[in-house]
């Protein structure tokens, strides 16, 4: 059984509307909101309402949710006007990747050329 809510989790609180964070997109299962410390002109986080610690905790039952997360990321990119110039969708898993909030989130970054990885 997958947890639905972690009482100590920042993104659970944000997704539940408890911090009055403005949502750029909201669906039944997903919210998108601006990153508080943007690394690019467009920097939006796409977050499932259900608590999932990271992408490593996803399984086959979550295929629909993962598809929705990507669809919302693409919608955000379009609404932010970066769909033609290009954007990056990324998610950090664990310490070496720099994951600081242990609730799954997709970063949507764009609006300037982004450094290549590696």
100 lies in the site for ligand AMP, by CB under 6 A: yes
β-bridge partners, 88:
109
92 lies in the site for ligand AMP, by CB under 6 A: yes
d(CA 19, CA 42): 21
35 lies in the site for ligand AMP, by CB under 6 A: yes
Cα angle 6, 7, 11; round to 5 = 65
d(CA 108, CA 46): 8
Of 43-51, 67-75, 79-87, 93-101, the window that binds Zn ion (rule: CB under 5 A) is 43-51
- 92: partner contacted, choices Zn ion, ligand AMP, none (Cβ within 5-8 A by kind): ligand AMP
Burial class (CB in 10 A: 0-12, 13-18, 19+), 33: buried
- 35: partner contacted, choices Zn ion, ligand AMP, none (Cβ within 5-8 A by kind): ligand AMP
115 lies in the site for ligand AMP, by CB under 6 A: no
Binding interface with ligand AMP (CB under 6 A):
10, 35-37, 45, 92, 98-101
């Amino acid at each position: 059984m997958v947890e639905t809510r972690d009482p100590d989790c920042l993104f659970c609180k944000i997704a539940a509307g408890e911090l009055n964070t403005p949502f750029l997109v909201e669906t039944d299962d997903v919210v998108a909101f601006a990153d508080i410390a943007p690394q690019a002109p467009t920097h939006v986080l796409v977050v499932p309402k259900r608590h999932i610690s990271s992408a490593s905790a996803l399984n086959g039952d979550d295929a629909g949710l993962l598809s929705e997360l990507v669809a919302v990321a693409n919608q955000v990119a379009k609404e932010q006007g970066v769909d033609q110039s290009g954007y990056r969708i990324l998610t950090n898993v664990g310490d070496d990747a720099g994951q600081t909030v242990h609730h799954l989130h997709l970063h949507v970054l764009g609006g300037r050329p982004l450094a290549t990885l590696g």
